[in-house]
Amino acid sequence: MENKQTALWLAPMAGGGDRAFRESCAAFGADHFCTEMISAKAYHFRDKKTEELAVIGEIARPSAIQLFGSEPLILAEAAAHFSQNEACAEIDLNFGCPVPKIVNNKEGSALLRDPARCREIVRAVVAASKKPVTVKLRTGWTKDEMTAPQIASLCEEEGAALITVHGRAREDFYRDNTVSYRAIRAVKEAVKIPVIANGGIDSPASAQAMLEATHADGIM
């Protein structure tokens, strides 16, 4: 991308996007960062590793702390705690992880089948958090269940400040050539808050194509 003006967000990656990796990406021009996803339930039970995952450091900023879970009050408890971190720019909610051990607990992208629960979670977390609340989601559970525009609208109604859309359905996992620009554009048209586009961006050309097709406010 020549004369870069669009914000480049580094995607949160469980098991890979640790502090050292985020700081390396900062050196190469990433503008915004996010921790690996953190279990709200693990915080609730005071797991020591959970606090380590939330360490942001001095270099890779601004940075969101990403939480996952399915219980609104437990997510709100974790958000209230982690949003006190001075280095935390936002609390990000994960409604997109496709991994079986996550969705089998009705977390991550399983929430895309339960818009009412998504609304409850965002409402509770916005009320508890001292920082803005953002949401990362996929297009839907399957290609035929494109619930992302509806859920994004509910999140906006409950006070979410920004939506990131991974342009694949849960059934797509991370397969090549499955990213739907149309679905991301549908979310962009459904809300007034900023929308960040994610999925399949691996070159300047694919980044430019994503922006032109979706009219997103940034790319991840």
80 with 129: CB under 8 angstroms? yes
**Rounded to whole angstroms, what are the CA distances from 16 to 13, 108, 171?**
5, 18, 22
Phi and psi of 189, rounded to 5°?
A: -80, -15
- Is 118 marked active-site? no
For 92, the token pair is 């990000």
62 with 34: CB under 8 angstroms? no
The SS3 call for residue 41 is: helix
Cβ within 8 Å of residue 36, ≥6 positions away: 12, 13, 14, 15, 16, 17, 18, 53, 66
Neighbours of 10 (CB within 10 A): 20
* Set 25, 34, 88, 97: catalytic member: 97
**Rounded to whole angstroms, what are the CA distances from 165 to 47, 146, 200?**
30, 12, 12
For 73, the token pair is 């009050």
The residues annotated as belonging to the active site are 97
